[in-house]
Amino acid sequence: MESADSRLFIAERFRRALPTYEKYAVAQQKISNRLISLAEKYLPTETELEQVLEIGCGSGMLTRALLNHYSVYRYTLNDLYPEAFEYLQSNSGGVSFEFICGDAEQLSFEKSHYDLVISASTIQWFKDLSSFFSQIASAIKPGGYLLLSTFAPDNLCELNSLIGQKLHYHNCNELSRMLTSHYEVLEVLQEEIVLHFANPMEVLKHLKYTGVTATESATPNYWTPKSLKQFIQDYKTRYSETANSKKVRLTYKPIYIVAREPL
């Protein structure tokens, strides 16, 4: 469960990572692309979306991916920090957006308003996901879609096994049960994205420059020289690609959700 202070900390971590996010967010780009491919499965690209709401827009990676495939009449973006909106608008190529700043769990959205509510790698931070699913269902038009990604319980398993800090992630079955009260659940599926790094320090750099974990232990500033040396040694020992390889791996385990508001 996230406190107000921890939400501010999360917002600050992502705000600081904003200028470097897209350069380092390789897994997140794959996740955004996968969400769009799932959208195309249920919403033909010739579909004109009148009203779209994106939760946790960040740097606009998913925003641009959606606009590359769909015509959107009115695009509403949400995030915790206003700098995201400023950054996205300055890199939008002239597209106009409506911005709603704040915690999506605490905001009130217009009833039966959106054709599509979409979000990538955001809802894992929410403290009451079941309540959010209920709340956002009322904002979706009958026949409208909910398209989300989150992460499985063993996401970033390499890092978590060594540091021991992680969020409480829901598995596919838990997510499906939460959704069925409010939606027609079309898909809840888990995949795996393995990234390869030259060494464990590059793993920490990746986490810092994407804001992914939003925990101090994932940043080089957290470590003492002794603990950092031990972390590097342990990471190499356990998670090198092969016995003779210097490269190490980091595994993302995204879960994708496609649901529809009943007619």
pLDDT, tens only, 17-40: 566 667 878 999 999 999 999 999
CB 66 within 8 A of CB 34: no
- Mean of all residue pLDDT scores within the chain: 87
Residue 13 to residue 66: CA distance in whole angstroms: 25
Whether 206 has a pLDDT exceeding 80, the answer reads yes
pLDDT band of 8, cuts 50, 70, 90: low
Residue type, 25: A
Q: Where residue 143 falls among pLDDT bands split at 50, 70, 90?
A: very high
Question: How far from 36 is each of 42, 245, 246, 263, CA to CA, in Å?
Answer: 10, 35, 35, 23
The token pair at 242 is 């092969």
Of 165-169, 249-253, 256-260, least confident by mean pLDDT is 165-169
Say if CB 95 and CB 74 are below 8 A apart: no
- pLDDT exceeds 70 at position 219: no
pLDDT at 5 over 80: no
**pLDDT bucket at 214, cuts 50 / 70 / 90:** very low
What is the distance, to the nearest Å, from the Cα of residue 203 to the centroid of all Cα atoms in its chain?
18
CB-CB contact of 210 with 18 (8 Å): no
Question: Cβ distance 147 to 116 under 8 Å?
Answer: yes
Over residues 194-204, the mean pLDDT reads 94
pLDDT exceeds 50 at position 1 = no
For residues 158 and 258, give the distance between their C-alpha atoms in angstroms, rounded to a whole number.
28
Q: What is the mean pLDDT of residues 225-233?
A: 93
Is the pLDDT at 167 greater than 90? The verdict is: no
Supply the pLDDT for residue 134: 96
- Unique residue bearing structure tokens 């030259």: 198
The per-residue pLDDT for 241 is 82
Higher pLDDT, 18 or 218: 18
CATH code for residues 4-153+167-193+251-260: 3.40.50.150
Share of the chain above pLDDT 70, in %: 84
Could you tell me the residue ranges of all domains in the chain?
4-153+167-193+251-260, 196-248
Q: What are phi and psi of 98, to 5 degrees?
A: -100, 135
